[in-house]
Amino acid sequence: MTATVIEATAQPSPLRPEARAPRRTRSLGVWVAEHVALVTLAVLFVAPVVFVVLTSLMPAEQTLTATIWPTSWQWSNYLEVFRTVPLARWFGNSALYAFGATACMLVSSVPAAYVLAKIRFRGASLLFGAIVVAMLLPPQVTVIPVYVLWSKVHLTGSLLPLILPNLFGDAFSIFLLRQFFLTIPREYTDAARVDGCGEWRTLLRIVVPMARPGIAAAALFSFFRAWNDYFGPLLYTSENQAAWPVSYGLATFRGVHGTDWSITMAMTVLVTVPVILLFLFAQRVFVEGITLTGVKG
Amino acid sequence: MITPAVIGLLVFFVYPLLASLWYSFTSYNLMSPPQWIGLRNYTYLFTQDPKVGKAALNTLWFVVFMVPIRIVSALAVAGLLVRVRRARGSWRSVFYLPALVPPVASVVAFVFLFNPGTGPVNRVLHLFGVDGPLWFNDPALAKPSLVLLSVWVMGDIMIIFLASLLDVPRELYEASSLDGANGAQQVVHVTLPHLVPVLLFAGVTGVIAALQYFTEAAVASGVASGKATIGAGASAAIGYPDDSLLTYAQWIYVRGFGNFQFGYASALAMVLFVVASVLVVFMMRRVGAYTPSEAS
Amino acid sequence: MNFRRVRSSLLLTVSAGAALALAGCSTGSADSAPVASAAPTDLSGTVSLWHFFSDREAGVIQTAVDEFEKANPDVTVDIHSGQDDAKLQQVISSGGDVDVAVSFSSDIVGNFCSTGAFVDLEPYITRDKVDLEQFPEVVRTYTEYDGTRCTLPLLADVPALYMNSAALAAAGITAPPTTLDQLEADALKMTEYNPDGSIKTLGFNPLMGFYENTPMNFGPTVEAQWLDADGQAAVADSTWPEVMKWQKAFVDTIGYDKLQTFTAGLGQEFSDSNAFQTGQVAMQIDGEWRTAFLADQAPDLQYTTAAFPVGMGHDDLYGSGTISGNVVGIGKGSKNPELAWALMKYLTTDTDSVVGLANGLKNVPTTLPALTSPDLVVSPQFQTFIDIAKDPKTTTRPSSPLGSGYGQPLTDFWTKWQGTDGSGLQDGLDAAAQQMNDSLALVAAP
């Protein structure tokens, strides 16, 4: 089933031609209406990007005027961002957080998901239920005691309280991975066991290669959640500018540095670009991943 | 193999839940040990706290309006895209890419775009002779402005809907055509039933996201208020304008990390826990009734 | 899968968590360390300094710290800039390494003194015979709480009225307004509109919440009270309605929506596009620090300053204002309190240091020797602030164990009320007072 979904998404195949064929005259009108709607919507969706990029290239004074097209192209606005704040460092922190959290998550959650998907044991359903509840409850419910724990071990002021817990499994990733692993027919894992493979070998040799798209999707989700996180860095790093990730730095940028809109928009663009690049690079995995969560979740 | 996950669940989920419950009966500022004060936090919460009601209503507002509006608009775009024959990939990217913009970046951008005095949106409206409203600076429009933002970034659920629409078996349409069903009837009798699982999925995840709505509202308030976050503290602008963006999750943050009333913030958290649990259990039941049970 | 292993690890974590929680793990080492009988003669080591300044102002602090390091070559000061009060509290209560902390507002004194986040300075003051009389009386009041002195003042802030000279001349105004009604009349004269009816430039922006428009700054114009002698909220029985009604009528004269639209398009308060600096607002209430920003960012702007106008029937108050200021304390977890105390004493009482900081930040000095020092650079515009600070009728907002948080209900109500039809003023004030008392009671529990 998963395979067909991806195929269908990827193929720009004409749809239900037989339903349309007999009513060609009317479909022309429908076709026009649909495309007018699409183009209008597309313009509305693209316009914010255009305005933001144009503003990021304006002279500072111009942002307060009615002219939308830059009177002169201030590419230096982008350099100005780096001069105003330690942006390179913040990007480094974001990368550390995103890669660190994702690596830790994979190490802990892949085996956990495998156990939940492929091994029967007492308490399995209770454990799975707990993971689902942990995944669904708002983080604010547990945030205070967790903060107290980290403050007792003096790790607040760094990103570690956001990275380390991933070593102990991440509920959402476990859930997602388990759903992927369930689609692997039991015969494969049973056969591996008959051949004398231990659980770890079965997991690494049989399950992981077969579930590679699923694991890639879970990793991407984890990466993006960390990259985009604002609440976590607000709690744990706000007092230590040297530990800020870019998303948090951007949120405080205009307030703290009283910066003009043009520079603020330049930073907005800078924060967004890596994510878009990553998407273009891993587009297929991405769309598959999202589709799979939706269809299977 | 699963031991680390079990430890994680206990340390980062079970223990904090129990500790929160205990803290909620104490006065605790992290500086000195918690002091038992009985139900004092709860009586303050239910009878005196001037903003908790507002915060809860705002959160409810997002659940009731933002979630369905997002779903309907995503469905509408997916419905249009499914009928496009040429360059569907490019069209899809146009509507999907905004979903990738980091939330903080998209909020900062929107507050700029909708800035009442100098923002492009009101400038464009002005061209049409319309006096643009105050958007993020108007207590009545701040929440709807965030709904507009949430529609702009609806790409992820739109992709799911699109995949599900493309997945409707062609035979079903053929069969219903033979039965004489017209387009509208086909939508009601063939397309929608097929979409029920993904619609429920979008609904459940949407409600859960709305219950913890924090980042977008907090950043919008901070940027729109023009208040320097420095000096007054991160919680100074929260809720701006006029507490219209104050969500329950933010109120927990303000009481906990702005005022350092950890005991009281824990009481707020326990109430959220009860409400969220009830909602989640209710929704899981509903979803369970529709989703075909999976093997193994 | 080994279920027994799961169970044992479960037990282990639960007990570990419980142990952590019960032990309440120590968060600081210097809680009750006795103070040495004599100040150490040689200072060495590293001391951390946390302050809230950023950008240009952080540079001024750096200069003062450099002087301290020059005088004490074995001492390294580790500076953490841009730290607001919530962060300070977060770090101090997590047992973080905060030796000396500078807060931007005396509002936190009640909170930090009563919770012990800042250590009691009395032993050091007595031992080193620091003369507290060198601080003006009102400054002494706002740096201690309930008999506990946990902070010393580091420069003070006083708001006054800034006026754009060109705009005054264009409107034919020769003397600064001294009453609120005059302020409004002058402001309306200076306000200009665009052809479409929107505001082009504003004489004075009356919106509550705009830049420094706060109850704390507006209240003294009518001698409005915050707390009564018992520490209970007094906002419902004081003179607040006088200034609130004036402000509301002023807003309505121009139009609430027009003002909101105009205000949303203005630059940030602490950016070089501050509305007074760009000329978009001709008069505004602002702190003495604005003179430094003006010199730095808008050197060509001609302006004058004067005491902020007062309400009808309060003529005797003219020339006074509200004073608050930066305060310095030693964090509870300080590993090296002697070094912290030395740095703090230097920053707050060394005349050269205080004068240098005052000249750089353009804040009002907080010691009498510094106030009269010939090295203090005083422009005519800056003199206004020194005069207000010295005025005997100048007051400060009382502190509480809740810090500044207790005043929030009044700010909230006022901000909301200014956009309504103006009814329900007394009801709103009653509710605000009730909310203030409720939250003060919760903090006082048990």
Q: List the structure tokens of B260.
A: 């350092």
For residue B95, list chain A residues with Cβ-Cβ distance below 8 A: 41-42, 45
**Strand, helix or coil for residue B175:** helix
Chain A nearest-CA distance from C437, in A, is 26
Contact of A69 with A54, CB cutoff 8 Å: yes
Contact of C199 with C191, CB cutoff 8 Å: yes
Which residue in A has a C-alpha nearest to residue C269's C-alpha? A258
C175 shares its domain with C297 = yes
- Using the Cβ of C273 and the Cβ atoms of chain A, whether some distance falls under 8 Å is answered with yes
* A 90-129: CB under 8 A from B: 108-109, 111-112, 114-117, 127
For residue B233, list chain C residues with Cβ-Cβ distance below 8 A: 84-87
Model pLDDT for residues B11-43, shown as the tens digit of each residue: 999 999 999 999 999 999 888 889 999 999 999
- Judged against a pLDDT cut of 80, whether residue C306 lies above it is answered with yes
Chain A nearest-CA distance from B230, in A, is 6
Q: Has residue C422 been placed in a domain?
A: no
- Using the Cβ of A64 and the Cβ atoms of chain C, whether some distance falls under 8 Å is answered with yes
Q: Which of the residues C9, C13, C50, C98 would you substitute to probe the B interface, choosing the one with the greatest number of B C-beta atoms within 10 Å?
A: C13
Per-residue pLDDT, averaged over C44-72, amounts to 90
Of C34 and B204, the structure prediction assigns the larger pLDDT to B204
Walk along chain A (297 residues) and give the pLDDT tens digit of each residue.
Answer: 333 233 333 333 344 444 444 444 557 888 888 889 999 999 999 999 999 999 999 988 887 777 888 888 989 999 999 988 899 999 999 999 999 999 999 999 999 999 999 888 888 889 998 998 888 889 999 999 999 999 888 888 899 999 999 999 999 999 989 988 988 888 888 888 888 888 888 888 888 888 888 898 899 889 999 999 999 999 999 888 889 999 999 988 876 666 678 999 999 999 999 988 988 888 777 777 766 666 544
* Residue at A208: amino acid letter: V
C313 shares its domain with C327 = no
C361 shares its domain with C285 = no
Q: What is the pLDDT of residue C309?
A: 97
Q: Which of the residues B9, B90, B247 would you substitute to probe the A interface, choosing the one with the greatest number of A C-beta atoms within 10 Å?
A: B9
Find the CATH number of the domain harbouring C304: 3.40.190.10
C176 shares its domain with C209 = yes
C94 shares its domain with C228 = no
Whole-number Å distance between alpha carbons of C438 and B76: 49
Average pLDDT, chain C: 87
Q: Has residue C269 been placed in a domain?
A: yes
Whole-number Å distance between alpha carbons of C163 and C65: 34
- Using the Cβ of B175 and the Cβ atoms of chain A, whether some distance falls under 8 Å is answered with no
For residue A9, list chain B residues with Cβ-Cβ distance below 8 A: 159, 162-163, 166
Whole-number Å distance between alpha carbons of C302 and A233: 43
Q: What is the pLDDT of residue A258?
A: 63
Whole-number Å distance between alpha carbons of C350 and C410: 38
Per-residue pLDDT, averaged over C357-370, amounts to 93
Q: Which of the residues B30, B54, B114, B137 would you substitute to probe the C interface, choosing the one with the greatest number of C C-beta atoms within 10 Å?
A: B30
Q: Which of B95, B166, B174 sits opposite A8 (nearest CB)?
A: B166
Domain boundaries, chain B: 33-295
C301 shares its domain with C339 = no
Chain B nearest-CA distance from C307, in A, is 24
| Pairing, β C45-50 against β C100-103 | parallel
Per-residue pLDDT, averaged over C1-13, amounts to 43
- Using the Cβ of C86 and the Cβ atoms of chain B, whether some distance falls under 8 Å is answered with yes
* A 235-254: CB under 8 A from C: 238-241, 254
Contact A275 B102 (CB under 8 A): yes
Per-residue pLDDT, averaged over C25-44, amounts to 63
Beta bridge partners of C46: C76
- Using the Cβ of C91 and the Cβ atoms of chain A, whether some distance falls under 8 Å is answered with yes
Contact A239 C88 (CB under 8 A): yes
Q: Which of A60, A119, A260 sits opposite C1 (nearest CB)?
A: A119
Q: List the structure tokens of C9.
A: 């690890």
- Using the Cβ of C88 and the Cβ atoms of chain A, whether some distance falls under 8 Å is answered with yes
Per-residue pLDDT, averaged over B185-209, amounts to 86
Nearest to C156 by CA among C393, C321, C366: C366
| Residue B241 confidence class, pLDDT cut points 50, 70, 90 | confident
Domain boundary among C265, C285, C317: C317
Q: Which of A148, A199, A258 sits opposite C268 (nearest CB)?
A: A258
Contact of A289 with A221, CB cutoff 8 Å: yes
Q: Report the domain count for chain C.
A: 2
Q: What is the pLDDT of residue A19?
A: 42
C90 shares its domain with C189 = no
- Using the Cβ of B194 and the Cβ atoms of chain A, whether some distance falls under 8 Å is answered with no
Share above pLDDT 90 across residues of chain B, in percent, rounded to a whole number = 50
- Judged against a pLDDT cut of 80, whether residue B268 lies above it is answered with yes
Model pLDDT for residues C249-286, shown as the tens digit of each residue: 999 999 999 999 899 888 778 777 899 999 999 999 99
Domain A88-293 has CATH 1.10.3720.10: yes
A43-79 burial string, b = 16+ CB within 10 Å, else e? eebeebbebbebbbbbbbebbbeeeeebeeebeebbe
Tell me where in chain A the CATH 1.10.3720.10 domain(s) lie. Answer: 88-293
ipTM comes to 0.90
Q: Has residue C14 been placed in a domain?
A: yes
Contact C271 A258 (CB under 8 A): yes
Which CATH number among 3.40.50.1100, 1.10.3720.10, 1.10.10.10, 1.10.760.10 corresponds to the domain B33-295? Answer: 1.10.3720.10
Residues spanned by the domain of C76: 3-158+323-387
Q: Which of the residues B51, B230, B261 would you substitute to probe the C interface, choosing the one with the greatest number of C C-beta atoms within 10 Å?
A: B230
C276 shares its domain with C343 = no
Of B181 and C161, the structure prediction assigns the larger pLDDT to C161
Which residue in A has a C-alpha nearest to residue B270's C-alpha? A141
Nearest to B99 by CA among B147, B156, B151, B144: B156
- Using the Cβ of C21 and the Cβ atoms of chain B, whether some distance falls under 8 Å is answered with yes
Query: Which CA distances in Å does A33 have to A12, A39, A45, B198?
Result: 20, 10, 18, 27
Rounded-to-5 percentages of helix, strand, coil across chain C: 50, 15, 35
Contact of A199 with B1, CB cutoff 8 Å: yes
Contact C442 B261 (CB under 8 A): yes
Neighbour order of strands in the sheet with C152-157 = C75-80, C45-50, C100-103, C324-330, C152-157
For residue B295, list chain A residues with Cβ-Cβ distance below 8 A: 182
Domain boundary among C335, C358, C387: C387
Q: What is the pLDDT of residue A18?
A: 40
* A 166-185: CB under 8 A from B: 167-171, 174, 182
Q: Has residue C313 been placed in a domain?
A: yes
Q: Has residue C114 been placed in a domain?
A: yes
- Using the Cβ of A165 and the Cβ atoms of chain B, whether some distance falls under 8 Å is answered with yes
- Judged against a pLDDT cut of 80, whether residue C174 lies above it is answered with yes
- Using the Cβ of C23 and the Cβ atoms of chain B, whether some distance falls under 8 Å is answered with no
For residue B247, list chain A residues with Cβ-Cβ distance below 8 A: none
For residue C13, list chain B residues with Cβ-Cβ distance below 8 A: 7, 10-11, 15
Contact C9 B37 (CB under 8 A): no
Chain A nearest-CA distance from C381, in A, is 24
Whole-number Å distance between alpha carbons of C189 and C170: 9
Per-residue pLDDT, averaged over C10-19, amounts to 43
Q: Has residue C256 been placed in a domain?
A: yes
- Subunits touching B (CB < 8 Å, at least 3 pairs)? A, C
Q: What is the pLDDT of residue B182?
A: 77
The DSSP line for B46-69 is III-TTHHHHHHHHHHIIIIIHHH
Query: Which CA distances in Å does C33 have to B138, B232, C333, C334?
Result: 53, 32, 11, 11
Query: Which CA distances in Å does C171 have to A231, C175, C196?
Result: 50, 11, 22
Q: What is the pLDDT of residue C129?
A: 93
Task: Count Cβ–Cβ pairs < 8 Å, chain A vs chain C.
Answer: 69
C130 shares its domain with C99 = yes
Task: Count Cβ–Cβ pairs < 8 Å, chain B vs chain C.
Answer: 135
Q: Which of C20, C83, C87 sits opposite A152 (nearest CB)?
A: C20
Chain C nearest-CA distance from B280, in A, is 26
Q: Omega before B98 cis (within 30°)? A: no
